[in-house]
Amino acid sequence: MTTLADPVPGGRPGDVERATALGGELAGRGVHGVVLSYVDTAGITRIKTIPVAKLPAAAAWGVGMSPVFDTFLANDAIVATDVLGSPDGDLRLYPDLDQLVALAAQPGWAWAPVDRITQDGERHPGCSRTFLRRITAAAEERHGVAFKAAVEIEWSVGADTTPTDRFEPVATGPAYGAARQVELSDFLAELLAACAAQGVDVDQVHPEYAAGQFEISVGALDPVAAADRSVLVRQTVRAVARRHALRVSFAPAVRGEGVGNGGHVHLSAWRDGANLYSGGAGRHGMTADAEAFTAGVLARLPALTAVTAPSPASYLRLRPSQWAGVFTAWGLETREAALRVVTGTRGLRDQAANLEIKPVDLAANPYLTLGCLIAAGLDGMASSTPLPEEITGDPARFDAAEAAKRGVRRLPVGLPEAVAAFREDALLRDALGPVLADAVTAVREGESAAVAGLDDEQIAAAYRWKY
């Protein structure tokens, strides 16, 4: 379980001793440096690195970094809000020692995610990991609810010799095809070995639908650890790929059309050790709380899209009949509704049942995504929001009257529409706090401005290798 307490200047009790022991152990295993990562508002993982000998000092006093990165765009241009985006100020990055791990595919390196606090020891209001810790702690304290989450990771594989202005799949075998697995056999085996060495519990890795696309899924963890894991797994996929002269893209779309790369989120809610998505009297075994949680997420999906699909390229992926879930609807094991209720197999349901949220991609900051999904769901639970009727099949086939009758709407077709919905959503803005909420708005508006006049192919190209 992630420690939900904030870092403090000087270190929390025991942190420095622990960092000293862990640093010594890593050094003994040939580790020289530690990558300290966080994810910015635009969804880019940004880092500092330190020599392993400085780990105790980092645990005590953090590592400096400017808050300006909270309003960086994916192209590294800077936008400004009232409080962020200025060249002034400094923050301290505190590694989470619980997540510290030697990177199997980057010999000599270890990795840890960070929380960021101010030089005065206050929470940095722009820190997305702190936001998710705060939401998770409040859910436990106020509602007695804990969560488990996992982020599915899809990516497209090209060759690192191909010019970056185009995407050519390296593996040409068919979707889900044995041939494609054989083509990248060594890469995939090394990826599994690296995950195992890092203690990452892989459920599956497989060739996906789109050209040159693969997916890895991992076991569920508490929300903060699940978001950390999504960062670590992508770092690992990228690093293993480099060793095989491959270049990987986690961008929502590598081309202007066709199936994209998703980052579906699986979320289950638990009270007193029991899964609220299983064993209840509601539909498909959901408890009343799970139905209301699902309804809370469903009701806010258009605004949530500004967080879960944050790039102009996200809207190349978010198109009907591409399994990205672009309609405000839910269903049992259905792949075109935004929300898929997963019961799991008989015998495993109390552990496996969960809610899958599909309109999420890997341009999304996983900390913001999980925090906002939880905030939306908890609001549904607190207000006993009724869950509408489920749908089956592809909602794209509903005519306007049928869709209206069922309350099924298309999710935003572009980032400006998503931002407009987000601006209207007081609950999400309150949950994020004014600093993060303004950063989300400003960064999305900056991304939209950055692609003004570009066609779909050019938008895909602009973001293809960013995430």
The DSSP string of 397-441 is G--HHHHHHHT--BPPSSHHHHHHHHHT-HHHHHHH-HHHHHHHH
Smallest gap from residue 341 Cβ to Mg ion (A): 17
Residue 336 binds Mg ion, judged by CB under 5 A: no
Smallest gap from residue 215 Cβ to Mg ion (A): 4
Pairing of strands 146-151, 265-271: antiparallel
Closest listed residue to residue 98, CA positions, set 285, 269, 201, 229: 229
Q: State which residue, 14 or 393, has the beta carbon closest to ligand GLU.
A: 393
Residue partners of 449: CB distance under 8 A and separation at least 6: none
Q: State which residue, 46 or 206, has the beta carbon closest to Mg ion.
A: 206
The residue ranges of DSSP E strands in 152-191, in sequence order, are: 153-159
Q: Which of 58, 153, 324, 460 binds ligand GLU (CB under 6 A)?
A: 324
Measure the CA–CA gap between 341 and 353, rounded to whole angstroms: 8
Measure the CA–CA gap between 124 and 91, rounded to whole angstroms: 8
Smallest gap from residue 152 Cβ to Mg ion (A): 6
Residue 180 binds ligand GLU, judged by CB under 6 A: no
Smallest gap from residue 57 Cβ to Mg ion (A): 42
Q: State which residue, 32 or 335, has the beta carbon closest to ligand GLU.
A: 335
Residue 259 binds ligand GLU, judged by CB under 6 A: yes
Q: State which residue, 15 or 215, has the beta carbon closest to Mg ion.
A: 215
Choose the stretch contacting Mg ion; rule: CB under 5 A; options: 57-65, 210-218, 299-307, 393-401.
Answer: 210-218
Q: Which of 148, 317, 464, 466 binds ligand GLU (CB under 6 A)?
A: 317
Residue 267 binds ligand GLU, judged by CB under 6 A: no
State the number of binding residues for ligand GLU (CB under 6 A): 11
Measure the CA–CA gap between 41 and 43, rounded to whole angstroms: 5
Q: State which residue, 324 or 387, has the beta carbon closest to Mg ion.
A: 324
Q: Which of 113, 125, 260, 395 binds ligand GLU (CB under 6 A)?
A: 260
Residue 188: phi and psi, rounded to 5, are -70, -40
Choose the stretch contacting Mg ion; rule: CB under 5 A; options: 82-90, 156-164, 207-215, 443-451.
Answer: 207-215
Q: Which of 169, 262, 312, 377 binds ligand GLU (CB under 6 A)?
A: 262
C-alpha distances in Å from residue 434, one per residue of 169, 224, 310, 438, 451: 42, 21, 18, 6, 26
Closest listed residue to residue 288, CA positions, set 387, 157, 215: 387
Residue 323 binds ligand GLU, judged by CB under 6 A: yes
Q: State which residue, 339 or 442, has the beta carbon closest to ligand GLU.
A: 339
Q: Which of the residues 190 through 219 are near ligand GLU (CB under 6 A)?
A: 209
Query: From the list Mg ion, ligand GLU, none, which binds 324 (C-beta under 5 to 8 Å, kind-based)?
Result: ligand GLU
> How many Cα neighbours within 13 Å face the side chain of 288?
4
Quickly count: other Cβ atoms within 10 Å of residue 333's Cβ.
12
DSSP secondary structure letter of residue 141: I
Q: Which of the residues 369 through 388 are near ligand GLU (CB under 6 A)?
A: none
Choose the stretch contacting ligand GLU; rule: CB under 6 A; options: 156-164, 240-248, 300-308, 317-325.
Answer: 317-325
Residue 77, SS3 per DSSP: coil
Smallest gap from residue 59 Cβ to ligand GLU (A): 38
Measure the CA–CA gap between 139 and 63, rounded to whole angstroms: 30
Measure the CA–CA gap between 216 and 157, rounded to whole angstroms: 13
Contact by Cβ (8 Å): 359, 338: yes
Chain-centroid distance of CA 68 in Å reads: 21
Smallest gap from residue 262 Cβ to Mg ion (A): 6
C-alpha distances in Å from residue 268, one per residue of 19, 42, 154, 290: 32, 26, 21, 8
Q: Which of 96, 183, 215, 361 binds Mg ion (CB under 5 A)?
A: 215
**Token pair in block for residue 137:** 């702690």
Query: From the list ligand GLU, Mg ion, none, which binds 259 (C-beta under 5 to 8 Å, kind-based)?
Result: ligand GLU
Q: State which residue, 40 or 215, has the beta carbon closest to Mg ion.
A: 215
Q: Which of 15, 40, 154, 447 binds ligand GLU (CB under 6 A)?
A: 154
Quickly count: other Cβ atoms within 10 Å of residue 367's Cβ.
27
- List interacting residues with ligand GLU (CB under 6 A): 154, 209, 259-262, 317, 323-324, 335, 358
- List interacting residues with Mg ion (CB under 5 A): 215
